Amino acid sequence: MTSGGEVVVALDVGGTGMKCALVRPDGTVVHAERHATGAARGPESVVGTILDVAEGLAGKARADGLTPLACGIAVPGVVDEARGVAVWSANVGFRDVPLRELAEARLGLPAALGHDVRVGGLAEARLGAGRDARHVLFVAIGTGIAAAHVVDGSAATGAHGAAGEIGHILVRPDGPRCGCGRPGCLEAMASASAIGRRYTELAGTSATAAEVAGRAAAGEELAGRVWREAVEALADGLATGQALFDVDTMVIGGGLAQAGPGLLDPLRAALRERLTFHREPRLVAAALGDEAGCLGAALLALDTRS
């Protein structure tokens, strides 16, 4: 490892854990750590941990002869990136927390705040599976479903910090009720948790989405049916996404993407069936795994310098 040089401090704050790193301007991670979010202790305590960890990382950089330039923080929920405010989050409990200002005051460095899925999309679009495309839709499928629309390396935030909620596109009006309160959202049909729940309901024995994918691939009829229904719903959501955004590349990330070709092959075919005059996007698996959020936070930090 070369000594000296510039780095940014990057934190990706999730419901249970924080992925944190010192990242060089070229995207190389020089140091990484993980911490518990401790959401049960309440939002004030989480904010305290974020600031302590960020300060610790900046100190570590200096101790190693590196110069910390800026800090980037990614959080879930509704994020007002322009004002640097964590507006609302179900799993961390944030309500209008001015995290950017707090980080700048504590670290004495420029800071940026971003939405976890949007910065993940930013990283996939600039450094990962979408790096050869100018128009990218990143879709993260895990316990929920959310997307980021990235054009020329910049992710659209929406007027209220809530762009990309593809999981709440209505795909089955008579479908199961979504966490948002409405029946039939894509997320209620095709998130990893929805797939596990649906199979468990029908089979009377519990299984995760990954297990359903495995059983479907092995030829189990019920698993195959549940998996197909989810893929069809996802294709409906992606077709809507393509009608809205006309992208070159769709990058599929999140836990469900680990099903690999078992997801992407049937999804590609189902999406193709739904497109009429729209151009078919390239459909690929995410390349950065669970590091995407942290790398995206680093990119946001670097962007404060340009």
Binding site for Zn ion (CB under 5 A): 168, 178, 180, 185
> From residue 119, how far is each of 49, 66, 113, 206 by CA, in Å?
21, 24, 9, 33
Q: Residue 173 Cβ, how far from Zn ion at the closest point, in Å?
A: 12
Q: Residue 175 Cβ, how far from Zn ion at the closest point, in Å?
A: 10
Q: Residue 255 Cβ, how far from Zn ion at the closest point, in Å?
A: 19
Q: Residue 184 Cβ, how far from Zn ion at the closest point, in Å?
A: 8
Q: Residue 90 Cβ, how far from Zn ion at the closest point, in Å?
A: 12
Q: How many CB atoms lie within 10 A of CB 43?
A: 15
CB 148 within 8 A of CB 122: yes
* 225-227-230 Cα angle (round to 5): 110
Q: Residue 150 Cβ, how far from Zn ion at the closest point, in Å?
A: 23
Which residue's CB is nearer to Zn ion, number 100 or number 168?
A: 168
Return d(Cα 117, Cα 150) in angstroms, integer: 11
Which residue's CB is nearer to Zn ion, number 180 or number 202?
A: 180
Return d(Cα 153, Cα 13) in angstroms, integer: 22
Question: Which residues, in sequence order, are bridge partners of residue 21?
Answer: 10, 32
Burial class (CB in 10 A: 0-12, 13-18, 19+), 222: middle
- Choose among 126, 157, 162, 154: nearest CA to 251: 126
Return d(Cα 77, Cα 86) in angstroms, integer: 8
Q: Residue 148 Cβ, how far from Zn ion at the closest point, in Å?
A: 18
Return d(Cα 160, Cα 291) in angstroms, integer: 26
Return d(Cα 25, Cα 12) in angstroms, integer: 17
* 161-291-285 Cα angle (round to 5): 85
In the sheet with 111-115, reading across from the earlier edge strand, the strands are: 29-36, 17-23, 6-13, 67-75, 111-115
Q: Residue 185 Cβ, how far from Zn ion at the closest point, in Å?
A: 3
Q: Do the strands 249-253 and 17-23 form a parallel or antiparallel pair, or are they unpaired?
A: unpaired
CB 186 within 8 A of CB 167: yes
